[in-house]
Chain A
Amino acid sequence: MPTRTLTPGAGVVDRALVIDPGQRIPGRAAGFPLRREGPAKLTGVAKYTDDLVFPGAWYGITIRSAEARARLIAIEPDPDFDWSKVVIATAADIPGDNVVASIKDDQPVLVPIGGEIRHHAEPVALLAAPDRETLRQLKGRIKLVTEPLPPVFDPEQSDHVFAHYDVRAGDLALGFAGADLIVEGTYRVGHQEQLYIENNAMIAVPGEDGGIVIHGSLQCPYYVHTALKRALRLSSVQARVIQEETGGGFGGKEEYPSMIALHASLLALKARRPVRMIYDRHEDISATTKRHPAIVRHRTGVTKDGVLVAQDIEVVMDGGAYCTLTPVVLSRGVLHAGGPYRCPNVRLRGRATRTNTPPNGAFRGFGAPQTEFAAEMQLNRIAERLQISPAELRRRNVYRLNDTTPTGQVLKESVAGEEVLEQALGASHFERIRERTAREAAERRGAGIVPPGPLRSHDRRTANGIGLALAWHGAGFTGSGEVYLASVASVELTADGRLRVLTANTEMGQGTRTVFPQMVANELGVPVDWVEYAPQDTAVVLDSGPTVASRTVMVVGGLVILAARRLKAEVEARHPAVPFHEAFRDDARANGATRIDQKFEPYPGVEFDDATYTGDAYPAFGWAAAVASVEVDLDTAEVFVRDVIAVDDVGKVIHPVLCEGQVEGGTLQAVGYATIEEMKLRDGKYLNDRLATYLIPTALDAPHIRAILVEAPFSGAPHGAKGVGELPMDVAAPAVVAAIHDATGVWIHELPATPERILAAMHDPGLVGVMERPA
């Protein structure tokens, strides 16, 4: 299928059947359904977890460690206080296994007496009381008796490896022997906080059957369900998880909600009443997961024409104190580490280790933003050394159809690296502006006085720069992930003649609740308002897998479309010559409910060998390019990101407004990652664990973002979609840092590119971590 590009507002996508007759919808949304829960969100009617009222509910809080590593000897409540009116829960109250079910089951729900505290802010005990004032008084009256143990903070010094990978292709020695130039570089990225504006929130309601109903802010109802069954020894029916309106997730509500749901449940079971466990911002930042910090080392061989001939890349990720999803994050990071470039001789090594810092976990991009930042920086250094334009160097190396990746995957279709690159270059007038910024830099050179070097001009305090980056993002789960998940999604014609979609995939702002009914309505030939979206409640929907990995529209959306097609065929077979939209209500009256459960089947021709880590690492890849324009204050090194052109190939655009929303939002998170978002640690504790000190971009910090959508469809999915959530997160940060170099002449090898780092590099270019030498 051909690749095509959608310019903003062009609306060339196939129109779904969406608009109520007679209803006029002005502007951009014309032809596409409006956000389904939009009116509720806009009027304040939408209920988020903390908005729910449960009569008689108590409030719960978590008592956390104040050390990075220690042995827990005792938990001592203040004997001068009357504890009879409150509830305390410790590890001894856990009826089942003291683990938060995940990949390795190494994380306890609460640290047991005699157990090891492995990070600052680790949960040790729980308290519930009828009111928050009592809890405030109590919090300081529980003493943790501990025996300090030596902590490890440097991931490279840790001897506990959560996961490691070694991917090889070709002959590295031969590749380097044939290189005209070898460039080495070391790149570092720090923690990043997801910073959903709604803090984590869970309410546990004990049931008469000894079970628990969870109402919460979460991405993956069945992850929480699994965790409840394991630690509380509940049956599948006794554990019930209901996702309430969720105020953002970005990966941050993928795995940690299991922990909070267990805490709320332990208190609720003991107090025999509902318990509200609502985090405040300080607790949310100090205790919950972050993006993995990483150190990435590159050694690259190129010909004098800029053709990559050898890439030797080593990735070290800091997993934090527990495994969480680290092996999968590392895997994606390693598989994306070479960037979207053809290279015959490659070695990609990665390891993730344990440190005594709060566990790191899922965050939009899932390992790829870390390693693709490094790959793009490395390519920029090569371009500079070879005096080739960064655009031209990418043009010469970007994957094309039928190229082979380091895992031996042949890119048989849906390859749009060149397309997104050319679109971004064209829309931004990249080469022309780059000539202009180079001219401006030349004018500054010699005129500059402060700081030393070719910097500040006598009449202008700021310098402009433009930067380019290119990325790829594997669509859906890595390797055999989707095969193991074996997701099931359903479309049902109910006995009373209603149509509804049933999946476990959550709405957290990205638009699931809007696009699933849209896709089904389109298949069935009915108005979108006729199709309901069932609640994300484990008592109602089957497990269609987690809402992560940009898989919702691509994988589950594909299942939903296939289910709708089967439903239509079944109903129409019972009513020859009558179209579905006329037949379905009569059919329900005559035959009762018809429900189609569609199970995931492996995409044809997609095979991956987990043992050798070879084959099709992903069914397809999304492709993205970004061009960032910055202005840098040469006195203060403050960076103003003015514009970003973000071009993303998503396979198939289902809903242009929502799709652009993903690109714009992901781009700004990447701009924050590049410039201002930084977690500072001391002795394993986050220092800036509040919104006053951990900064994210405001409307004034945000650049003008122009999203350009490209469609290079994936034939394995019925609609061709490849997902959009994470792709934009991979590409804007390296584009911004390249633009900072264009403006200042210095390379920043560590994210974020703070004024401190930029000033330090401007004053001492020797600080940069790259070596070059002739081969």
Chain B
Amino acid sequence: MSAYRFLVNGAPAQVDVPGMRRLLDVLREDLGLTGTKEGCGEGECGACSVLLDGQVVDACLVPVCQVEGRIVRTVEGLSLAARERGALDTLQEAFLDHGAAQCGICTPGMLMAARAYLDAGGGPDDEAIREAIAGNLCRCTGYTKIVDAIAAVASPAE
């Protein structure tokens, strides 16, 4: 056991756990951030996608020792600024408006992948959006409305 320190959604976090403990378990069980979901535990479904220094990673494949001193962002941190105003951020609002979330279990991971894509300057191009979320499986939507929602944020309608 040793202590690992990192930033989660802008706040400092410290956990005393084995270094090989999955970031997913640290977030969900040690820090109570259950917005990040487990779908397969082997990096196939993307339900546990979080941002590590701005890059999308599967939290089920990242041991916490690799997170020391780094910046983690989860779905709970997506709308921190917006939530102070009692609202969703633009991306979440677009998902809600377009019907891009159905059962919702892939949604947190999907939002994080979309956020990384948009933050990197991604545009409304359909193929590029699909490429960006190809690591995030959704069984409900057929992806159509997810792609539409991300495209709407990439190029807000007049």
Report how far A511 CA is from B44 CA in the complex, Å. Answer: 27
Q: Once the chains bind, are B83 and A43 in contact (CB under 8 Å)?
A: yes
B1-36, CB < 8 A from A: 28, 32-36
Report how far A669 CA is from B107 CA in the complex, Å. Answer: 18
Q: Once the chains bind, are A44 and B96 in contact (CB under 8 Å)?
A: no
Chain A minimum-CB-distance residue to B101: A41
Could you say which interface size class chain B belongs to? 35 or more
User: Which residues on B sit within 8 Å (CB–CB) of A660?
Assistant: 99, 144-145
Q: Once the chains bind, are A41 and B104 in contact (CB under 8 Å)?
A: yes
Q: Once the chains bind, are B44 and A510 in contact (CB under 8 Å)?
A: no
Q: Once the chains bind, are A509 and B130 in contact (CB under 8 Å)?
A: no
> Is A250 at the interface (CB under 8 A from chain B)?
yes
Q: Once the chains bind, are B134 and A698 in contact (CB under 8 Å)?
A: yes
> Is A766 at the interface (CB under 8 A from chain B)?
no
- CB < 8 Å neighbour of B103 from A509, A667, A699, A705: A509
> Is B76 at the interface (CB under 8 A from chain A)?
yes
Q: Once the chains bind, are B105 and A280 in contact (CB under 8 Å)?
A: no
Q: Once the chains bind, are A197 and B41 in contact (CB under 8 Å)?
A: no
User: Which residues on B sit within 8 Å (CB–CB) of A511?
Assistant: 102
Q: Once the chains bind, are B134 and A700 in contact (CB under 8 Å)?
A: yes
Q: Once the chains bind, are B103 and A248 in contact (CB under 8 Å)?
A: yes
> Is B67 at the interface (CB under 8 A from chain A)?
no
- CB < 8 Å neighbour of B88 from A43, A246, A247, A248: A43
User: Which residues on A sit within 8 Å (CB–CB) of B135?
Assistant: 698
Q: Once the chains bind, are A692 and B37 in contact (CB under 8 Å)?
A: no
- CB < 8 Å neighbour of B104 from A46, A665, A669: A46
Are A699 and B75 CB-contacts (below 8 A) given A50-B38, A661-B102?
A: no
- CB < 8 Å neighbour of A702 from B88, B107, B140, B142: B142
Q: Once the chains bind, are A44 and B44 in contact (CB under 8 Å)?
A: no
Could you say which interface size class chain A belongs to? 35 or more
Q: Once the chains bind, are A245 and B104 in contact (CB under 8 Å)?
A: yes
Contact bitstring A28-68, B, C-beta under 8 A = 1, else 0 = 11000011011111111111101101000000000000000
Chain B minimum-CB-distance residue to A199: B39
> Is B92 at the interface (CB under 8 A from chain A)?
yes
Chain B minimum-CB-distance residue to A644: B142
CB distance from B142 to the nearest CB of A (A): 3
Q: Once the chains bind, are B47 and A197 in contact (CB under 8 Å)?
A: yes
User: Which residues on A sit within 8 Å (CB–CB) of B49?
Assistant: none
User: Which residues on B sit within 8 Å (CB–CB) of A605?
Assistant: none
Are A661 and B143 CB-contacts (below 8 A) given A197-B106, A699-B130?
A: no
> Is A196 at the interface (CB under 8 A from chain B)?
yes
User: Which residues on A sit within 8 Å (CB–CB) of B101?
Assistant: 35, 38, 41-42
- CB < 8 Å neighbour of A27 from B105, B138, B143, B157: B157
Contact bitstring A234-252, B, C-beta under 8 A = 1, else 0 = 0000000000011111100
B108-158, CB < 8 A from A: 108, 111, 126, 129-131, 133-147, 152, 157
Report how far A248 CA is from B127 CA in the complex, Å. Answer: 26
CB distance from B44 to the nearest CB of A (A): 4
B97, B102, B107, B138 interface centre (most CB from chain A within 10 Å):
B102
CB distance from A281 to the nearest CB of B (A): 4
Chain B minimum-CB-distance residue to A509: B103
User: Which residues on B sit within 8 Å (CB–CB) of A48?
Assistant: 34, 37, 105
CB distance from B37 to the nearest CB of A (A): 7
Q: Once the chains bind, are B136 and A699 in contact (CB under 8 Å)?
A: yes
Contacts A699-B136, A704-B126 known; list 7 others, CB within 8 Å: A42-B95, A44-B34, A280-B41, A661-B142, A664-B143, A692-B42, A700-B134
Chain B interface (Cβ within 8 Å of chain A)?
A: 28, 32-42, 44-45, 47, 74-76, 78-79, 83, 88, 92, 94-99, 101-108, 111, 126, 129-131, 133-147, 152, 157
